[in-house]
Amino acid sequence: MSTAPASPAAPLTARTAIAAGVDLPQLGLGVFQIPPDQVQPIVEQALDVGYRHVDTAAAYNNESGVGAALRASGLPREEVFVTSKLRNGEQGYDAALRAHAETLERLGVDHLDLFLIHWPNPGAGLWQETWRAFERLHSEGSVRAIGVSNFLPEHLRELTEVASTLPAVNQIELHPTHSQSDLVAHHRELGITVESYSPLGQGADLDLPEITRIAEAHCATPAQVVLRWHIQHGFVVIPKTTSRDRLVENLDVDGFRLSAEQMATIDALDRGHRIGNDPATFSISQIR
């Protein structure tokens, strides 16, 4: 099995449309758990090796470092797709508008490409009025696309009752041992793009023998196989790494294709193994 990093000239993964006139590189960099004082050089390296899509959140407390990296890269703003997310404690119409303005300020940008409600936060019951604020931001052009994260079918149902604009994406925990096929099917019916978070199972799914066998067959790494599985399913995928070699490795997933049988083998690894919080109950404010 080859573990040599691919060349920095590795091709970018394809772009995918998530809303009218809005498309994004299907593979981006997630920066959850990268400390604020470490995020800038990592995002700079990512942009240097070819990433053009970064996923952050107000709750990660690292938006300022992401913004500094965007500026240091010298790339035109429109070349990098930037997602951020609204903290639970900032749900509500006025609070969401204020929080969005603060996110723009921390990032040093005049618009977001995608803004997500981070969690449904069912205890607060505020996502409907939060969505009205998101729709206003969208209509004013300060957000190119709006979406949600961690929404279950019941949350989506309540949201779509009041929504004039459907969420462009739902960012959910999704990896081989937690592949959420029912939820994915529900999104396909609604026309909502699925974005996979913790796509490598935070590294835990990479040692499965089925994955390593398929990796050997393609002279690829386990991470490349898992990312390829997400891409062939049509998911947007945002692996996190702090290593330059892995940044390159994770982006280099266009050079091989999994067979239908290999896709089915990985599909069959689902164990309902959730790593993160349960969206049905999670209601931490996320404000320090």
Contacts 24+ apart (CB under 8 A), 259-266: 262/214, 262/217, 263/229, 263/232, 263/233, 265/210, 265/214, 266/176, 266/210, 266/211, 266/214, 266/225, 266/226, 266/229
Smallest distance, ligand NAP to C-beta of residue 251, A: 10
- 183 by DSSP, 3-state: which? helix
Stretch that binds ligand NAP, among 18-26, 45-53, 140-148, 193-201 (CB under 6 A): 193-201
Q: To the nearest whole angstrom, how small is the minimum distance from the Cβ of residue 265 to ligand NAP?
A: 19
Of 33 and 181, CB closest to ligand NAP: 33
The residue at minimum Cβ distance from ligand NAP is 30
- Cβ count within 10 A of residue 254: 16
* Residue 86 beta carbon to ligand NAP: minimum distance, rounded to whole angstroms: 11
Nearer to ligand NAP, 137 or 174 (CB): 174
176 binds ligand NAP (CB under 6 A): no
- From the centroid of its chain, how far is CA 142? 20
Q: Tell me if 36 contacts ligand NAP by CB under 6 A.
A: no
> For residues 149 and 167, is the Cβ–Cβ distance under 8 A?
no
In the complex, minimum distance from the CB of residue 66 to ligand NAP, in angstroms, rounded to a whole number: 11
CA angle 248, 192, 241 (to 5 degrees): 20
Per the CB < 8 A criterion, the answer to whether 148 and 117 are in contact is: yes
Which residues partner with 285 through β-bridges?
none
Give the single-character DSSP code of 175: B
Is 240 a binder of ligand NAP (CB under 6 A)? Answer: yes
Q: Which two tokens stand for residue 217?
A: 């067959």
Q: Name which of residues 128 to 167 contact ligand NAP (CB under 6 A).
A: 149-150
Q: Which of 199, 214, 225, 262 touches ligand NAP (CB under 6 A)?
A: 199
Nearer to ligand NAP (CB atom), residue 109 or residue 120: 120
Question: Is 93 in the active site?
Answer: no
Give the active site residues. 60
Q: Which residues bind ligand NAP (CB under 6 A)?
A: 30-32, 55, 118, 149-150, 171, 197-203, 206, 221, 223, 238-243, 246, 249-250, 276
